[in-house]
Amino acid sequence: MEQFFQQLTNGLAVGGIYALIALGYTMVYGVLKLINFAHGDLFTYGAYLGMTLLTSLFLQDRLGAVAGFLVLAVMVMGLVALFGVILERAVYRPVRESHRLAAVVSALGASIFLQNTLMLIYGARFQVYPDDVLPRVAVNVLGLEIPLMRIVVVLASVVMMAVLYFFVQKTTIGTAIRATAIDQGAARLMGIDVNRVIRLVFLIGPALGGAAGLLVGLYYGQVNFTMGWLYGMKAFTAAILGGIGNIPGAMVGGLLLGVIEALGAAYLSTAWKDAISFIVLILILIVRPTGLLGERVADKV
């Protein structure tokens, strides 16, 4: 039984990361109907940028642990958001009018380009975060040893999701985003600056992805230029699981997928862990394609 709860917490912690990345996917898909294959690579950029900034600016020494971390997070998120906007303007905007396939190919091309640029800059080997940036404290919850940082990760995901959710539901610009997601043409007719909305979405989504990258780098300590692929795939599965276009859905999907993976590894076989995620994906798409919490985009006939 102890193993069950331990695996549960393992799954939730990993799921928190999936959720953060999934939020980016789901927002972009909701508004543009585009699977941003490059999103996973933006996540990787977050991890690498975090490492570079951390080792060159010594924020921890200057500002103390907590403030240093927050400043670092803001910087990383800002930079990755910037990349996201550039990506949208340079790669996706020109193909917006074309066939769906063109956007898919562009997205793939962008992913390959980003990944290899990173490889050329940083080299093919693994890169390592400096040690001891985060406190290595473990908290004892109900008899289980849980590292504090894992709880922080899950909380951070939930908080960011909550903020995003209220933003989208309650503010004017949030409503504009939702309107654009439902019908771009009509939104334009209502006077919404669709380009601005899309730009905003490409600011927020990648920022969250970048934050996830930073957290992963800080917590696991090791980054490599291909990490975006696997995380991206899982996060996309999570987004679909929860309902693509649906913000709380991304959260639920992420956490649930993490747990399914951990329990699957524990009780079935660790070697098939990834296959389990893909099987979940396929089953959901067959049985309930709108996802658990329902899709929030209009269906094309």
Partner 1 sequence: MNRSLLRAYVAAAAVLAAAPLALDAYWVDVLNNVGLYALLALSLNIILGDAGLFNMGHAAFYAVGAYTTALLNTRMQLPILWALPVSGLVAALFAALVARPVVHLRGDYLLIVTIGMGEIVRIALVNDVFGLTGGANGLFGISRPSVFGYRIRRPQEFFYLIWLFVALTVFLFHRLEQSRFGRALNYLREDPVAAEGSGVDTARYKLMAFALGAAWAGMTGSLYAAKMTIISPESFSFWESVVLFLIVILGGSGSIPGVILGAFLVVGLPELFRGFASARMLVFGLVMMVMMVFRPQGLLPLRTVRFKKSDVAKAEVAP
Partner 2 sequence: MKRVMGLALVLSLLGVGSARAADTIKIGLMAPMTGSWASEGEEMKKNVELLASELNAKGGLLGKQVEVITEDDGGDPRTASLAAQRLTTKGVVAVIGTYGSAVTEASQNIFDEEGIIQIANGSTAVRLTEKGLKYFFRTCPRDDEQGKVGAATLEKMKVKKVALLHDNSAYARGLADEIRSHLKAKKLDIVFFDALTPKEQDYSAILTKLKASGPDVVFFTGYYPEAGLLLKQKKQMGWNVPFVGGDAINNPDLVKIAGKDAAEGFQFLSPPVPRDLDTPEAKAYLASYTKKNGETPGSIYGLLAGDGFRVVAKAIEATKSTDADKLREYLTTGLKDFPGFTGKIAFNVKGDRIGELYRVYKVDKTGGFVLQK
Q: Across the strands, what pairs with 141?
A: 144
- Cβ-based neighbours of 107, under 8 Å, separated by 6 or more: 34, 35, 36, 37, 38, 91, 92
CB within 8 Å of 48: residues ≥ 6 apart: 118, 122, 127, 213, 217, 223, 225
Among the listed ranges 51-59, 64-72, 163-171, 258-266, the one in contact with partner 2 (CB under 8 A) is 258-266
Distance CA 114, CA 42 (A): 8
CB of 261 to partner 2, least distance (A): 7
Q: Which stretch binds partner 1 (CB under 8 A): 2-10, 75-83, 161-169, 273-281?
A: 273-281
**Where would I find the H helices in the chain?**
2-32, 39-57, 59-63, 65-87, 100-122, 148-170, 172-182, 184-189, 194-220, 227-242, 247-267, 273-287
- How many residues in the shown chain lie near partner 2 by CB under 8 A? 35
Tell which one of 61, 101, 136, 287 touches partner 2 (CB under 8 A): 136
Which of partner 2, partner 1, none has residue 120 at its interface (CB below 5 to 8 Å by kind)? partner 1
Residues of this chain that interact with partner 2 (CB under 8 A) are 2-3, 6-7, 10-11, 13-14, 123-126, 128, 131, 136, 138, 145, 147, 216, 220-222, 224, 226-227, 230, 261-262, 265-266, 269-271, 273-274
Residues of this chain that interact with partner 1 (CB under 8 A) are 33, 35, 91, 94-95, 97-106, 108-117, 119-120, 233, 236-237, 240, 269, 271-272, 274-275, 278-279, 281-282, 285-286, 289, 300-301
